[in-house]
Amino acid sequence: MDTLKVKGVLETALYVSNLQVSIDFYKAIFNIDILIENQSFCALNIFNKQVLLLFQKGSASQGSSSSGGIIPPHDGFGNLHLAFCISEIDLFPWKEWLTKNKVEIESEYKWERGGTSLYFRDPDNHLLELATPGLWTIY
């Protein structure tokens, strides 16, 4: 097992109460493209490296099957957290962009080890974070 390692996080999922409102929010605020969309979920392209899945709450709780196999049931409730990487020089422009788009910045936090985080909420009250380098030693 010492030689087996994952290469990264491919997908992250959020469960939302109004799929279209959330799609509109993430596209407008983060300028990201849709990979796949239907009435129960949307896959958003994050910098050609990760996928943000938005599921209509309850839509995946029964799982699904097709000729490809079975996707086990999943769902989520409560206020979840997701952080996006940004560069240090983009911190102020992001603050301006969020303000211009009427997204309230809940907190700006300067980490002792380095880096700054901006915290704000999406339409489902999930906590979103924009983090500059220094927060973690890997970024």
Please write down the HEC assignment for all residues of 55-91: EECCCCCCCEEECCEEECCCCCCCCCEEEEECCHHHH
- Specify whether 84 is located in the same domain as 127: yes
- Specify whether 50 is located in the same domain as 89: no
Report the pLDDT value the prediction gives residue 136, as an integer from 0 to 100: 87
DSSP 5-54: ------EEEEEES-HHHHHHHHHHHH--EEEEE-SSEEEEEETTTEEEEE
Residue 107 in any domain: the answer is yes
Is residue 1 over pLDDT 80?
Answer: no
Report the pLDDT value the prediction gives residue 22, as an integer from 0 to 100: 98
Contact 26, 19 (CB under 8 A): no
CATH of the domain at 33: 3.30.720.120
- Specify whether 87 is located in the same domain as 52: no
Query: Alpha-carbon distance 108 to 138, whole Å?
Result: 21
Is residue 2 over pLDDT 90?
Answer: no
pLDDT in tens, 23-64: 999 999 999 999 999 999 999 999 899 999 999 999 999 888
With DSSP H G I counted as helix, E B as strand and the rest as coil, what are the percentages for the chain, rounded to 5? 20, 35, 45
- Which residues constitute the domain of residue 119? 78-139
Report the pLDDT value the prediction gives residue 114, as an integer from 0 to 100: 92
The C-alpha angle 27, 32, 35, rounded to 5 degrees, equals: 105
Is residue 135 over pLDDT 90?
Answer: no
Residue 71 in any domain: the answer is no
pLDDT in tens, 62-103: 888 888 999 999 998 899 999 999 999 999 999 999 999 999
pLDDT in tens, 112-131: 989 999 999 999 999 999 99
Token look-up 């080890």 returns 113
